[in-house]
Structure 1
Amino acid sequence: MRRLRCLFSRSQPGRHNARQCPDSRRNDDVRIHARSRLEGAAREAICGSGRHVPTSGKPHILAGRWSDPQKWSFVHPAVAQLNAVMPPPPLPPIVAPPWVEIEEAMGFRLSQDFRDFINLYGDGEINHEFCVFYPAGQRHFALSLTLLLDHAEELNSYGVFESYGDLPFAGYPAPGGLLQWGSTYNGDMICWLTEGDNPDDWPVVVVFRHIVDPSWRRFDGGMAEFLFSLVTSTFELSTALIGDPPGGARWTRHRDWEHDYGDPPTALYGSFYTEDGRPLFPHGRKLPCGALVPLQYREGSGGDQELYGRTGEVRTLVEPDSESPETTIKLAGGGLAPGMAYRVLASVAVGVDDVPGTVALELLCDGTPIPARSTSVDVEPGQTTRASATAEAEILVAANSSPVSVQLRIVSSPNNADITVEDLYLHVNGTLAAG
């Protein structure tokens, strides 16, 4: 599942232009070894059902049901501020985890903004890039109320923080140590700097995996203030952590203490390959200017989260068009109003014949070009450029409406040039749109 990888680094095409960290091979091996050992535990801890199993001999303190607050004065002001710019999806009210039991097991109180954030947003991620750790769940087939401490212990056991040569902090529970509460798919770690006895006063430290000089940044504010700075792009490296999608920051909820909503729809399309993994067009595929780009479905997951939460049924919302599967993708809006927000990102490495040309991509929705954030590329005759033409847009599809058709068209100037497509991918990520 995608959710598992939130704890560990992952390379993705078309992501951030981060500088390579000059760690030694030994330090990289430490991290890779740590991730391989942690993966099984993380699958249970982060991807588990999250249902509370009463512990024998101890009182069971019921988790609370959290609906949209009537009085925001009872909610941490930074969480209320965050809600105004990144509202949670319109799924049923959150069932909050049993904070009294969790904090008793951990031995200290968690910050108020962290608790209020989990109570309002649940377990999930921002822009399919940045996840906030859930405080409790299944680990090694048993309930753990100390997932944050369990993860800290694993990081310390493999010397992860020590592998960063310029990091002046140790891992928790060292005095003033780093206690991780979030992560990106690139392997960046977001931590509290546990200075002092009041968790509400703990600042945030970001430890980057691929950014150096220095490899860390301190944010003098709490967890929710930090997230607000990310989604409003006031943190200096916000794009490196959550990207910069055209529609702004969106939160995807995967689960809460009692409900599992599964994964939202995602799909990857790319160049054509044979069944044994060889390129179908090893020297590229020649297309005339204005042609629709052929796309081969590679992989996908998730679907209608509202339906899955109620029934456990998986209904795909992103799939090839039945009439023209090579060039057309269908996006459905699901059954929960207002519908789905799809981030569509395409990238194509190209070449031209005969004359120099400028090549660009267009995204079509129901046959009509739509506004997109795009980059064109200048290509010399007979050469395939290492740079790629790109196009990115957000497409909103209303709930219970007819699916929309999405296509990718390639154009050039001059418009009589033939274009050779060497490599391409088109990535679709869906999120329930907030009301």
Structure 2
Amino acid sequence: MNNALAALHQVAPAPDVPRRKDWAEIERALGTGLPADYKELVRIYGGSNWDDYLYVLEPDCPNAHYDLLTWADQQAEDLEDLWAYEEKPAELEAGDGARVVPWAVTDNGECLYWLVRPGLDPDGWTVMVNEARGARWEHFSVSCTRFLASALSGDLRSGILSSSFPLAVHGFRRLGPA
């Protein structure tokens, strides 16, 4: 277990039943590998809600509203349409084929993405946050689990995410059945 996952375990002990996934099939459907820390996060916590605000997406999530593959398809299409008339974030303008893939959303509509660069191993992906109804983006040079753990501890602050996040007393729930 990496340090970020260990920190999350302090916030919310692992549910009794891990979630098993066919990662090869999921990655084939997505068209890319996924970070090892995310796979471990999903194995331990599954699709999950943190502090009644942030939802970690899960492939084949028992709550279909938080399915990673569905979100990835929808966001790719929506962002391409959006960028026809709105400027892309600088991290995606380099012309190297960089793209974003969602891994979490909030109840306000913000979306958290991995910044995916061609030739970069998924374990090196970093996090980008996009405001719900606007063109503002933030980039954080950390993994998704480090982002989540650091946001919950208050060590990392986003100007886009709700100022009410994190809660003083953390809440966690797994989406769908145990």
> Structure 1 residues 254 and 157, CA, compared in 2 at 3 Å: closer, same or farther?
same
Q: Which residue of 2 aligns with 1:175?
A: 97
- 1:147 aligned residue (65, 70, 74): 70
1:105 partnered with 2:29? yes
Equivalent runs, 1:122-141 vs 2, <5 Å: 122-136=46-60
Distance in structure 2 (CA, Å) of the matches to 1:236 and 1:211: 19
> Structure 1 residues 241 and 206, CA, compared in 2 at 3 Å: closer, same or farther?
farther
1:199 partnered with 2:125? no
Distance in structure 1 (CA, Å) of the matches to 2:47 and 2:84: 29
> Structure 1 residues 182 and 250, CA, compared in 2 at 3 Å: closer, same or farther?
same
1:187 partnered with 2:99? no
Deviation at 1:211, TM superposition (A): 7.7
- The alignment partner of 1:186 has SS state of coil
Distance in structure 2 (CA, Å) of the matches to 1:228 and 1:182: 13
> Structure 1 residues 162 and 188, CA, compared in 2 at 3 Å: closer, same or farther?
farther
Q: Which residue of 1 aligns with 2:5?
A: 79
- The alignment partner of 1:153 has SS state of helix
Contact 1:76/1:112 (<8 A) preserved: no
Q: Please, what is the CA RMSD of the aligned residues?
A: 3.1
**Identity of counterpart residues, as a percentage?**
22
Larger radius of gyration: 1
> Structure 1 residues 163 and 232, CA, compared in 2 at 3 Å: closer, same or farther?
farther
Deviation at 1:149, TM superposition (A): 3.4
Q: Give the AA of the match of 1:217.
A: E
> Structure 1 residues 181 and 95, CA, compared in 2 at 3 Å: closer, same or farther?
closer
Q: Give the AA of the match of 1:149.
A: A
Equivalent runs, 1:19-98 vs 2, <5 Å: 75-84=1-10, 86-88=11-13, 91-98=15-22
> Structure 1 residues 79 and 246, CA, compared in 2 at 3 Å: closer, same or farther?
closer
Distance in structure 2 (CA, Å) of the matches to 1:225 and 1:199: 14
Contact 1:126/1:242 (<8 A) preserved: no
Tell me the matched-pair count: 171
More deviation in 200-209 or 94-103? 94-103
Higher normalized strand content (fraction of residues)? 1
* TM-score normalised by the chain length of structure 2: 0.78
Q: Which residue of 1 aligns with 2:168?
A: 246
Question: Which blocks of at least 5 consecutive residues in structure 1 are unaligned?
Answer: 1-74, 262-435
Contact 2:152/2:166 (<8 A) preserved: no
Distance in structure 1 (CA, Å) of the matches to 2:33 and 2:164: 28
Q: Which residue of 2 aligns with 1:223?
A: 144
Distance in structure 2 (CA, Å) of the matches to 1:224 and 1:162: 32
Distance in structure 1 (CA, Å) of the matches to 2:155 and 2:139: 14
Q: Give the AA of the match of 2:167.
A: P
Equivalent runs, 1:230-379 vs 2, <5 Å: 230-237=151-158, 240=162, 243-247=165-169, 249-255=170-176, 260=177
Higher normalized helix content (fraction of residues)? 2
Distance in structure 1 (CA, Å) of the matches to 2:85 and 2:49: 27
> Structure 1 residues 243 and 81, CA, compared in 2 at 3 Å: closer, same or farther?
closer
Larger relative contact order, structure 1 or 2 (CA cutoff 8 Å, min sep 6): 2
Task: Kindly provide the CA deviation profile for residues 58-114 of structure 1, in whole angstroms up to 9, marking residues without a partner as x.
Answer: xxxxxxxxxxxxxxxxx3332223222x2246x431232221221233332200010
Distance in structure 1 (CA, Å) of the matches to 2:163 and 2:39: 22
Contact 1:178/1:194 (<8 A) preserved: yes
Q: Give the AA of the match of 1:100.
A: A
* TM-score normalised by the chain length of structure 1: 0.35
> Structure 1 residues 166 and 210, CA, compared in 2 at 3 Å: closer, same or farther?
same
